[in-house]
Structure 1
């Protein structure tokens, strides 16, 4: 059972309430999967098996968490996920599922990795079309070429200009960006035209 000393150090640095949770989860993973590899990914203890991430754990100020990389396939599609954890935000060892359940879940995750099953693709909802601020709408009304370019842009290009303008912290900066945006759009240019391949 290869142990990564960085995980020992991680557990020692965790809040006192989290230490027994992390230690017990670690033992369960090794019980179910003796050939598991330990590492640190994204600053958190991570367990790897059969060339893929099996699961990971983390300690926060108020809770600890443990989650499977293929959560929906291991725990079930309908089981909600609270943050990165498959079992919610845990504050004591009592929050862990029964040993038998946890071992069964770990073995299921192992089998998925061994069979080369990929995690389901996450579907993100498309962003709503950007809302044009009044000052930009007024400036575009005065410049037909800029208005035509803006109207022809896909939502992502419109959003780039809008975000650039509204993120200005000072009024003078916003006014400069607005004038620059109208000038570039009148020339048919996207917001990041300088970086596009010619």
Structure 2
């Protein structure tokens, strides 16, 4: 992946002792993860993979720092304070062996890949739609009649949610007279192709 010129400028502007450290870390990340994308966040270089950071680096007046975005997941246990998970780096000798860092980079890549799959799986796992409500017996009997064929057709074309609005309205009636009035209104409105709350739409 192409290198971000802003990261190059950051390295060039760093103190002389820091430049070889930052260049080495940058080259190592690209070697292990050719698909890495560079970015500048919070005024420091970040290395992203699959849209999520895997590591970052920074230069200060007297030391450099390098850290992994999900260090706790990489090594287990409590995460070290700050981003300086490898201490204050003042020379290349302060860095862990290259293979140690490479192994952590590869593991961080795997974590990001797993995270991407997990997010996609969550997005794909839409909640199952609620089933259609059970029709009250008296309403079901009336809808089955030929004279209410238009109302029945409208009801059957509605989503379970729209059907539930009518069923709930009827079953919540406390008095039988109220229930009968609501059933009559339901049949009338359904025949006209209207939803329960059509007055407010």
Q: Determine if the TM-score, normalized by the shorter chain, exceeds 0.5.
A: yes
| Structure 1 residue aligned with 2:160 | none
8 Å contact kept, 1:75–1:86: no
- For 1:89 and 1:81, locate their aligned partners in 2 and report how far apart those are by CA, in whole Å: 13
Shift of 1:82: 4.5
Q: Unaligned 5+ residue runs, structure 1?
A: 119-198
Alignment check: 8 A CA contact 1:81 1:87 kept: no
Offset of residue 76 of structure 1 = 3.3
Counterpart CA distance in 2 for 1:44 and 1:74 is: 22
* 1:2 Cα offset (Å): 1.0
Partner of 2:49: 49
TM norm structure 1: 0.56
- What is the aligned partner in structure 1 of residue 17 from structure 2? 17
Deviation >3 Å, runs of 4+: none
Which 5+ residue runs of structure 2 have no aligned equivalent? Answer: 119-201
CA distance in 2, matches of 1:76, 1:93: 26
Aligned residues: CA RMSD: 1.6
Q: Which position in structure 1 is the counterpart of 2:58? A: 58
Distance 1:89 1:76 in 2: 21
Q: Determine the C-alpha separation between the residues in 2 that align with 1:86 and 1:105.
A: 12
Q: Which residue in the other structure is 1:135 paired with?
A: none
Distance 1:109 1:53 in 2: 9
Aligned to 1:121: none
Paired residue secondary structure (2:115): coil
C-alpha distance in structure 2 between counterparts of 1:62 and 1:77, whole Å: 29
Residue pair 1:67, 1:86 contacting (<8 A) in 2 also: yes
Q: How many residues align?
A: 117
Please name the residue that 1:89 is paired with: 88
Q: Whose radius of gyration is greater, 1 or 2?
A: 2
Q: Within 1, Cα distance between the matches of 2:69 and 2:35?
A: 18
Deviation, 1:86, is: 2.0
| CA distance in structure 2 between the partners assigned to 1:30 and 1:54 by the alignment | 12
